[in-house]
């Protein structure tokens, strides 16, 4: 059987892939060596800008199957009947570190799911925590700057990390999550995923419900201590990637059960917590979990760069029956995520295989731009409406309209009866066992004790005291002991 012929990118056969063309046996290389120049030029361009956040990621394909009837709450087609399956792609990630960081670190984990539905792709972009550090997107660039490598020292600085948190009391709840036992998952398979934001479901009758998503791991929660994580990160920086890849390859397919919390839209205004505040949860006793279906991962990507690094998720990719809420952080991300992909991957990133719809065909008037390959020419019109049988609008909104009132301006979020920055952090602390509390305090003190300014330490201690007196006292004593050593 004859071997396939190696060619250049233009299809010309390559005579020699071992030796560059030169001026004589020992002379300098020739500019006319097209194969050499093409290889080096392509090599220089193989990488694209890494994500500012969620740079280090892993992913896999699978399916989502509906197990329970939720048609009373949403008319989304992929949730329309028990037993219905939809192909998915799930990308896991760490948040703060660069593409070259280690997997086993204390950091939130991204949990982004792309549902390839018959009504278009639905992207659900969340984390492995149900809350976040801030509630308004205008603070997001400052927050991330404080957590990334310092521009002078080139490393993450405790002064920066804790100084931002000192000025962001709403972060106390998420800091308690992050510094607790679930702050370092043992693997991507052994952690929950959350939509984190509040979204909207709309049923066929036009009734609106606000919804929170909970993906509960069927492998069980497993986490690492700080000491275990430091050892594992040194031995295998790719530990989570390795675990996910090998589990799927040997036929051990990880799965999660999806539950939702549902709030009738009319109840939002008078709920004791602001239901659109990303730093808050809805207690399950108020809105119990309702099962929806099962998500299974059963196929690894063939090319990590093409399918994981270039996977583009945007929370504004909704389908009929699902829409946004007034959650301020979600509103900011409706723009920011899609814009990040247009910058990193180009305006035609939705044509890449991992991002393109699979159960339907995208039909729109987008044209041209870098790497345009949509092939819509030969007289096809690029405007709407037209008289040439081009795609037309449906006139049917994807979700129910959101009521608005008042004056434009820079407003803080409206306060509900139980709204403050510390109550839920204290509730989380009080749910912990004594052993869990001890580890939480040690993790916080280990970082806070490295801060150089006393006033920054005091501001942070005040947050823990406000959450729970015992919590604050134990952190304060632990910090003092470490600083006296």
Locate tokens 């939509």: which residue?
A: 195
Task: Indicate if 127 belongs to the active site.
Answer: yes
Nearest to 20 by CA among 8, 4, 9, 31: 31
Burial of 411 (0-12, 13-18, 19+ CB in 10 A): exposed
Catalytic pick among 35, 121, 127, 349? 127
Can you list the positions of beta strands (E) in 265-343? Answer: 290-299, 322-324
Beta strand 199-202 with 85-94: parallel, antiparallel or unpaired? Answer: unpaired
Beta strand 193-194 with 208-217: parallel, antiparallel or unpaired? Answer: antiparallel
Query: Which residues neighbour 254 within 8 Å (Cβ) at sequence distance 6 or greater?
Result: 188, 189, 217, 218, 219, 244, 247, 248, 296, 297
Burial 82-117 (b: 16+ CB within 10 A, else e): eebebbbbbbbbbbbbeeeebbbbbbbbbbbbbbbb
How far is Cα 92 from Cα 188, in angstroms, rounded to an integer? 7
Task: Indicate if 364 belongs to the active site.
Answer: no
Q: Where are the alpha helices (DSSP H) in 317-360?
A: 328-344
How far is Cα 363 from Cα 485, in angstroms, rounded to an integer? 66
Q: Name the residues annotated as catalytic.
A: 54, 127
């Amino acid at each position: 059987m004859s071997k396939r012929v190696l060619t250049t990118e233009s299809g010309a056969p390559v005579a020699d892939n071992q030796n560059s063309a030169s001026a004589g046996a020992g002379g300098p290389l020739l500019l006319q060596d097209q194969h050499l120049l093409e290889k080096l030029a392509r090599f220089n361009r193989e990488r694209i800008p890494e994500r500012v956040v969620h740079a280090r990621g892993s992913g896999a394909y699978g399916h989502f199957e509906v197990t329970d009837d939720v048609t009373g709450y949403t008319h989304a087609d992929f949730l329309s009947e028990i037993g219905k399956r939809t192909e998915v792609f799930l990308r896991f990630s760490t948040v703060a570190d660069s593409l070259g960081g280690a997997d086993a670190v204390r950091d939130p984990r991204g949990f982004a799911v792309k549902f390839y539905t018959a009504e278009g792709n639905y992207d659900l972009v969340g984390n492995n925590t149900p809350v976040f550090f801030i509630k308004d997107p205008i603070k997001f660039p400052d927050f991330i700057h404080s957590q990334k490598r310092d521009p002078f020292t080139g490393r993450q600085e405790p002064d920066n990390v804790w100084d931002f948190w000192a000025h962001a009391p709403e972060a106390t709840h998420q800091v308690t999550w992050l510094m607790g036992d679930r702050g370092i998952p043992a693997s991507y398979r052994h952690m929950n995923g959350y939509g984190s934001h509040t979204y909207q479901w709309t049923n066929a009758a036009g009734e609106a419900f606000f919804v929170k998503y909970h993906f509960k791991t069927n492998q069980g929660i497993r986490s690492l201590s700080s000491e275990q994580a430091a050892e594992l990160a040194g031995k295998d920086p790719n530990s989570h990637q390795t675990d996910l890849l090998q589990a799927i390859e040997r036929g051990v397919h990880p799965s999660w059960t999806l539950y939702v919390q549902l709030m009738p839209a009319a109840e939002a205004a008078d709920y004791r917590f602001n239901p659109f505040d990303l730093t808050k949860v809805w207690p399950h006793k108020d809105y119990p979990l309702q099962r929806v279906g099962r998500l299974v991962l059963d196929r690894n990507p063939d090319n990590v760069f093409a399918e994981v690094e270039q996977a583009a998720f945007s929370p504004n990719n909704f389908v009929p029956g699902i829409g946004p809420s007034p959650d301020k952080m979600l509103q900011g991300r409706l723009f920011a995520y899609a814009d990040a992909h247009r910058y990193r991957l180009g305006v035609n990133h939705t044509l890449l295989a991992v991002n393109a719809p699979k159960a339907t065909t995208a039909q729109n008037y987008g044209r041209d731009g870098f790497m345009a390959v949509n092939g819509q020419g030969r007289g096809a019109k690029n405007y709407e409406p037209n008289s040439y049988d081009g795609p037309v609008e449906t006139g049917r909104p994807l979700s129910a309209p959101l009521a608005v009132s008042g004056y434009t301006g820079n407003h803080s979020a409206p306060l509900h009866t139980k709204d403050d920055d510390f109550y839920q952090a204290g509730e989380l602390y009080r749910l912990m066992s004594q052993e869990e509390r001890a580890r939480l305090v040690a993790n916080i003190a280990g970082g806070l004790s490295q801060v150089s300014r006393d006033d920054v330490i005091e501001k942070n201690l005040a947050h823990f005291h406000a959450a729970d007196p015992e919590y604050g006292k134990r952190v304060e004593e632990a910090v003092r002991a470490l600083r006296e050593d």
